[in-house]
Amino acid sequence: MPLCPLVHLNGALMALTDAHISPLDRGFLFAHAAYEVTAVYGGRFVDLDGHIARLERTLAGISIPNPHISEGWANLHRELIAQNDLVEGLVYLQVTGGAYDARDFAGPQSFTPTVFAYADARPLIGASARMGIGAVFIEDSRWKRRDMKTTQLLSQALAYRLAQGQGAETALMVEDGFVTEAASANAWIVTQDGEIMTRQLSPAILPGITRAGVMGLRAAGGFTITERAFTPEEAVNAAEIFTSSAGAMIAPVVTLEGRPVGDGRPGPVTRKIQKLYYEAMGADVAVAAPFVFDRD
């Protein structure tokens, strides 16, 4: 689907075709930029406060002054979806170190950020959620501060290309004998005993907002969730695998390295998590995602 026609650039709402950013912007030259992706469902944001809090943490971590208070960021998001009449989709926000008159690694003592946001109308509960996706293992070559959500995404982009070249949709990134996360999502496995595992928070992974939402479902779902690193072998032998992210939400992984995960269908634990997560964001599950009942 095409992007929504109106975007936000440095305090102004304008047509996408009128938005221009300097080629000397530090986001372009050095990937010196933070970003967030927030889902919109039924005209309402999903976990917007969590995304803003993570943005503020990332900006502080990469030395970009925060140009807005939390409510200012929220108002920017609300104006963007209201002016574009966005009911379902994603809002992307990027904040860079700004543009200056020279290409200088260190840059000035204080940065003047560039702020750019746009909306993308798309269905959030689609074929990947219903049917599942395939994954392959790929060596994790990303920088060491993955807990900062920055635009240094070349490794992730190449991971997707490598996965697609092998007939899969995503990759499980491996470092020092353990899975870190998926190409652009947190990774989860379900053991044969029904225990859910995901890697503990650290600079090795992004503290996903959707990940936090899944963690919050423990009581409602009666889940046992262990936060620890798991090996590729544990993933291969898992009963179920799924990923979590703002864009794909809860995506079942039904094949790994070309072999079925479990019985090759989204498993009952994953289906229960999908159901609870969709309900929490306000979806009429019977209408929007009836497939969540196929393992009852």
Q: Which CATH class is domain 127-293?
A: alpha beta
The answer to whether the 6-121 and 127-293 domains have the same CATH topology is no
For the annotated catalytic residues, the residue numbers are: 149
How does pLDDT run across 31-75, given as a tens digit for each residue? 999 999 999 999 999 999 999 999 999 999 999 999 999 999 999
Locate the domains of the chain by residue range.
Answer: 6-121, 127-293
Q: In sequence order, what are the beta bridge partners of 96? A: 33, 114
Give the pLDDT band (50/70/90) at residue 1. Answer: low
Q: Which of 8, 21, 12 is nearest to 119 (CA)?
A: 8
The domain defined by 6-121 carries CATH number 3.30.470.10: yes
State the average pLDDT over residues 24-32.
97
How does pLDDT run across 91-143, given as a tens digit for each residue? 999 999 999 988 999 999 999 999 999 999 999 999 999 999 999 999 999 99
* Mean pLDDT lowest among 49-53, 77-81, 108-112, 242-246: 108-112
Distances in whole angstroms, Cα of residue 91 to Cα of each of 13, 79, 149: 14, 11, 15
pLDDT > 90: what percent of the chain?
A: 98
pLDDT of the residue at 20: 97
Give the torsion through C-alpha atoms of 24, 37, 182, 33, to 10 deg: 20
How does pLDDT run across 160-169, given as a tens digit for each residue? 999 999 999 9
pLDDT of the residue at 2: 76
pLDDT of the residue at 165: 97
Tell me the whole-structure pTM to 2 decimals: 0.95
Q: Which two tokens stand for residue 155?
A: 């490794």
8 Å CB contact between 73 and 55: yes
Judged on CB neighbours under 10 Å (0-12, 13-18, 19+), 119 is buried
**CB neighbourhood size of 279 (10 A):** 15
Q: Which of 97, 185, 204 is nearest to 142 (CA)?
A: 204
